[in-house]
Amino acid sequence: MELSITQENFARALSAVGRVASNKAGLPILNNILLRTDGNRLLVAATNLEIATTQYIGAKIVKPGAITVPARLISEFVSSLPKDTIELKVVNDNIHLKCGNYTSIINGVIADDFPELPTINEESSISYTINVEDFKQAVSQTIITASSDSTRPVLTGVYWHSHEGQLFLAATDGYRLSERRLVETKSDVSAIIPTQTLQEVLRTIADTSETVDILFDETQVRFRINEAEIISRLVDGNFPDYRQLIPASSETSAVVNKQEFVRVTKIAGLFARESGGSVTMTVDPDKKTVSLHSIASEMGENTSELTAEVQGGGQVTLNSRYLSEALSVIDDDTIAFSFSGKLSPCILKSVKKDTNYYHVIMPLKS
Amino acid sequence: MSALWQSVLGEIELSVTHATYTTWYKNTQLVSQSDEEVVISVPNIFAKKQFEVKFNDIIKKALENNGVTPERITYTVNVSGKKTRVNRETTLQATDGSQVLEAPADFRSSPSSRPSSPLTARGNLNPRYTFDNFIVGSSNDLAYAASQGVASNPGTKYNPLYFYGGVGLGKTHLMQAVGNEIIKKNPDARVVYVSSETFVNEFLDYIRFKKKGFSDKYRNIDVLIVDDMQFIANKEKTQEEFFHTFNFLHQNNKQIIMSSDKPPRSIPTLTERLRSRLEMGMTIDVQMPDFETRCAILRAKSEMSGVQLNNETVEYLATNIKTNIRELEGALNQLLAYAELHNIEPDISTAEGLLGNVRHSRPQHLTSKQIIDRTAKHFQLPVDEICSQKRDKHVVVPRQIAMYLLRSELHLSFPKIAGELGRKDHTTAIHSVEKIEKAIKLDFVIREQVAAIREKLYA
């Protein structure tokens, strides 16, 4: 195998796939990155047997071939090099890298031992092409409410599913839930994509990307962004039927300015550290205000108020961190929230007419 | 069918590496078998591809060796009856919705422990310390029973109540629990919780700035809780003021609860009349919890965080951290945080990895020889010279430091210390230890040297 390649392209590809390389599965070769020529391109790939990421980069191929190299060493070496052309040559399983005055020989392992990268049959799969901005927003809006508790695996991912002709994303950790409507769909989909996979996709999206191609089959999903590809397993299991939990109507509702609401939440949170983030929200229909109250038993207490459009009065106790996180992902200057008493879920969303996102937080039992 | 597959796997296990076998072959199953087709289920998409491309020949051969020669072998990914893509809208099965969303576990504390009355009325009590979350074992059952007695009959049953014991054994927890319990029963009760240091500082302010209200503050209450009484030693005027406060409250049948690291008789500079008063009520020794209690504490704490630890891990932690509950909780928190951060199960191997340093930082068998050797090495002196009769300055100071360390680290008696360093007279040892004790406070160089040697001893 012999080829030349630009340092910029090579470094970018290595850093993108290098994160996935790990020895979690106990197979030493998974610490390595696969380099393989493919026509006039170089394939750079890594896998941890849950995700496989692949990057194709343009290269001048002199002699085709394949080899694997320790991920960490080659990534760090290549990223430290100046912007120049790198000449890569494999001699007896050793990779000779030359870039200007810098020469390295890295011991490789033959590519035969590297796991085959899974492929997906495009004919029998369902595909979507989604605008990068929509994708990024939708995933970041839902991923924050996914659980990290491995004892309930179905909650550790984002649930992509079709419902009444639309594709929805939903995630819950049992204490809060978020749902985002993404695009129209004619096919029926129901798949749980692991959180780590989506994080990896988000990281892979570059400024120049415009669309994300997503392909589902029964057990796997593939994302394609420009020349990069991420294939991942899906979480096995049924996502809970969360729709029945969302209350259709509510006793109390208020519309507030987001910026002000973010500020009072942050302030109330300062005094709620001791009590595990518990802040009490009171909606006063006479004064037309929403107030947040929190107590730190040894330090002091805080009450902040903001004016709002109010319907009905009531009180509910929430975790300030959940509230802050919800506010940070709702894309609007004004926010509507509603609840019915101390025990039923509190719903937050934008006031836009065709709002496609809502966030639900369970109150704290106080 | 399974017997055939077992024999195939057995054959393959011998011919591939262990890592390859556990990664790829371990969770495979034979689904169906006929003359035309053998179907094998594999755990994931990666394995499927791997089998199709790389292992097909091996499988075929192994099947052949077992007398099975199908026309083709297919591999399917093992899913628990679920199809990701569905064709009917109704396939999404309704699950028990009430289980899906719930109030966070962290906040399911009992209503009583939540701040209910305004801040000042609670007198600095931390609402988290209650009897409910105090774990009782043989080492602290007496203290627990006495506390409950006091909480139900404040001022009459055991007055004063005095706890003593090492750090992190639950003295503060018990005292605050009494205070919280009294407030719960009688929300108007005035409970004041202070550390003796706060008491001293307030008293100093009172003298310096002629502030008013000091005696009012401490005499106009129902329950006085003073933590860490040992800090009041040496402060004669404060002791006197405390003595008067004590007498006043006691005569009016107000409850007094105190804690310290030593029993009253062992606090050296406590005036006689105060000591006798501290001893007149109930004096209880809070001891280090035994193994079972430590396990119970770990279980309770981990459940509070919503995590179930297996027995092995709990026992590992309880065996390795014996001295202090605070340290025990610290180790547990460290383990849970690490597990959450890395999204792994908090099991024994994680605990071992994390707590290895905790355990090794506390050598069980520090000997006097190690201390002397270490000191000699630090000053680049031969050991015999330190133990010799020489009185050159460059030998004397290291010798004194060695004596000091023998006292502070091993608590050896003075005659023993003198003996270890080839001295007959124990007064030399007393003098040396006192000299270094003083020097540590004044002399930066000595302080650094002692710290450096100590660090190496425990490294």
Q: Is residue A42 scored above 90 in pLDDT?
A: yes
B363 vs B441 pLDDT, higher one: B441
The pLDDT of residue B277 is: 83
Are the Cβ atoms of A238 and B82 closer than 8 angstroms?
yes
Q: What is the ipTM of this complex?
A: 0.74
Which residues of B fall within a CB distance of 8 Å from A49?
A: 23, 44, 46-47
Distance of CA B273 to the CA centre of its chain: 38
Are residues A137 and A92 located together in one domain of the fold?
A: no
A194 vs B164 pLDDT, higher one: A194
A120 in any annotated domain = no
**CA nearest to A26 within chain B:** B19
Question: Is A187 within 8 Å of chain B by CB?
Answer: yes
Question: Is A310 within 8 Å of chain B by CB?
Answer: no
Are residues A139 and A108 located together in one domain of the fold?
A: no
When scoring A24, A126, A361, A365 by the number of chain B Cβ atoms within 10 A, the one with the most, hence best to mutate, is: A365
What whole-number distance in Å separates Cα of residue A125 and Cα of residue A218?
8
Are residues A164 and A96 located together in one domain of the fold?
A: no
Question: Is B52 within 8 Å of chain A by CB?
Answer: yes
Q: Which of A79, A113, A147 is the last residue of a domain?
A: A113
The pLDDT of residue B93 is: 29
A118 in any annotated domain = no
Instruction: Say if strands A176-184 and A357-361 run parallel, antiparallel, or are unpaired.
Output: antiparallel
The pLDDT of residue A65 is: 92
Say whether A101 sits in a helix, a strand or coil. coil
Q: Give the least confident one: A76-90, A170-184, B114-128.
A: B114-128
Residue A211 sits at φ, ψ, to 5 deg, of -135, 160
Confidence of residue B156 (pLDDT cuts 50, 70, 90): confident
Order of strands, edge to edge, in the sheet holding B255-260? B191-195, B223-227, B255-260, B161-164, B282-285
Average pLDDT score over residue span B162-190: 84
Confidence of residue B102 (pLDDT cuts 50, 70, 90): low
Q: Which of A244, A259, A275 is the last residue of a domain?
A: A244
Are residues A234 and A337 located together in one domain of the fold?
A: no
**What range does the domain containing A60 cover?**
2-113
> Could you tell me if A345 and A362 are in contact, meaning their C-beta atoms sit under 8 angstroms apart?
yes
The pLDDT of residue B100 is: 47
Confidence of residue A181 (pLDDT cuts 50, 70, 90): very high
Q: Is residue B200 scored above 90 in pLDDT?
A: no
| Cβ pairs A/B, distance under 8 A | 146
Confidence of residue A25 (pLDDT cuts 50, 70, 90): low
Are residues A138 and A240 located together in one domain of the fold?
A: yes
% of residues, chain A, pLDDT over 70: 99
Average pLDDT score over residue span A215-233: 91
Are residues A34 and A109 located together in one domain of the fold?
A: yes
Q: Is residue B217 scored above 90 in pLDDT?
A: no
Q: Is residue A298 scored above 50 in pLDDT?
A: yes
Nearest to A189 among B85, B99, B100 (CB): B85
Which residues of B fall within a CB distance of 8 Å from A233?
A: 44-46
Arithmetic mean of pLDDT over chain A: 89
Q: Is residue B455 scored above 50 in pLDDT?
A: yes
Number of H helices, E strands in chain A: 6, 26
The pLDDT of residue A143 is: 94
Long-range contacts of B69-73 (CB under 8 A, 24+ apart): B70/B33, B70/B34, B70/B35, B70/B36, B70/B37, B70/B38, B71/B35, B71/B36, B71/B37, B72/B36, B72/B37, B72/B38, B73/B37, B73/B38, B73/B39, B73/B40
Which residues of A fall within a CB distance of 8 Å from B20?
A: 27
- List, as one string, the DSSP characters of A216-245: E-SSEEEEEETTEEEEEEPBPSPPP-GGGG
The pLDDT of residue B21 is: 85
Residue A62, CA distances (Å) to A4, A41, B57 in order: 8, 11, 32
- The two three-digit tokens of residue A119, written as one number: 């492929």
Are residues A169 and A104 located together in one domain of the fold?
A: no
- Name the nearest CA neighbour of A70 among A23, A139, A117: A23
The pLDDT of residue A326 is: 92
B411 vs B89 pLDDT, higher one: B411
Task: For chain B, positions 53-82, list CB contacts with chain A under 8 A.
Answer: 53-54, 77, 79-80, 82
Nearest to B102 among A49, A174, A231 (CB): A174
Q: In sequence order, what are the beta bridge partners of A220?
A: A233
Nearest to B106 among A28, A148, A276 (CB): A276
B115 vs A338 pLDDT, higher one: A338
Are residues A293 and A234 located together in one domain of the fold?
A: no
Question: Is A246 within 8 Å of chain B by CB?
Answer: no
Are residues A324 and A231 located together in one domain of the fold?
A: no
- Name the nearest CA neighbour of B142 among B255, B40, B38, B284: B284
Confidence of residue A242 (pLDDT cuts 50, 70, 90): confident
Question: Is B208 within 8 Å of chain A by CB?
Answer: no
B212 vs B264 pLDDT, higher one: B264
What whole-number distance in Å separates Cα of residue B389 and Cα of residue A211?
85
A77 in any annotated domain = yes
> Could you tell me if A211 and A129 are in contact, meaning their C-beta atoms sit under 8 angstroms apart?
yes
In this predicted model, what pLDDT tens digit does every residue of A254-283 receive, in sequence order?
Answer: 999 999 999 999 999 888 887 778 899 999
- The two three-digit tokens of residue A193, written as one number: 């994509």
Are the Cβ atoms of A236 and B89 closer than 8 angstroms?
no
Are residues A228 and A335 located together in one domain of the fold?
A: no
Nearest to A362 among B83, B103, B344 (CB): B103
Are residues A106 and A14 located together in one domain of the fold?
A: yes
What whole-number distance in Å separates Cα of residue B261 and Cα of residue B285?
9
What whole-number distance in Å separates Cα of residue B404 and Cα of residue B372?
11
Q: How many CB atoms lie within 10 A of CB B70?
A: 16
Confidence of residue B293 (pLDDT cuts 50, 70, 90): confident
In this predicted model, what pLDDT tens digit does every residue of B360-389 receive, in sequence order?
Answer: 444 556 788 888 888 888 888 888 888 888
**Residues B436, B441, B442: CA angle, nearest 5 degrees:** 95
- Name the nearest CA neighbour of A142 among A183, A199, A217, A207: A199
Buried/exposed code over A179-218 (b: 16+ C-beta within 10 A; e: otherwise): bbbbbebeebbbbbbbbbbbebbeebbeeebebbebbbbb
Q: Is residue A161 scored above 90 in pLDDT?
A: yes
A264 in any annotated domain = yes
The pLDDT of residue A254 is: 93
A72 in any annotated domain = yes
Question: Is A121 within 8 Å of chain B by CB?
Answer: no
Q: How many domains does chain A have?
A: 3
Residue A130, CA distances (Å) to A16, A107, B220 in order: 21, 41, 71
- B353 HSE (CA, 13 A, CB side): 9
Confidence of residue A360 (pLDDT cuts 50, 70, 90): very high
Q: What is the pTM of this model?
A: 0.55
Q: Is residue B304 scored above 60 in pLDDT?
A: yes
Average pLDDT score over residue span A291-316: 88
- Name the nearest CA neighbour of A260 among A219, A292, A229: A292
The pLDDT of residue B97 is: 34
Q: Which of A198, A226, A244 is the last residue of a domain?
A: A244
Are the Cβ atoms of A275 and B114 closer than 8 angstroms?
yes
Nearest to B95 among A117, A240, A365 (CB): A240
Question: Is B104 within 8 Å of chain A by CB?
Answer: yes
Q: Give the least confident one: A55-64, A133-142, B19-28, B442-451.
A: B442-451
Nearest-10 crossing angle of helices A258-270, A320-329: 150
Are residues A251 and A331 located together in one domain of the fold?
A: yes
The pLDDT of residue A261 is: 92
The pLDDT of residue B101 is: 54
- List, as one string, the DSSP characters of B270-329: --HHHHHHHTSSEEEE-----HHHHHHHHHHHHHHTT-PPPHHHHHHHHHH--S-HHHHH
Are the Cβ atoms of B115 and A275 closer than 8 angstroms?
yes
Confidence of residue A199 (pLDDT cuts 50, 70, 90): very high
DSSP classification of residue B374: H
Task: For chain A, positions 84-103, list CB contacts with chain B under 8 A.
Answer: none
Q: Give the least confident one: A46-50, A112-116, A255-259, B208-212.
A: B208-212
The pLDDT of residue B210 is: 67
Q: Is residue B226 scored above 60 in pLDDT?
A: yes
Q: What is the CATH number of the domain that holds A159?
A: 3.10.150.10
Q: Is residue B91 scored above 70 in pLDDT?
A: no
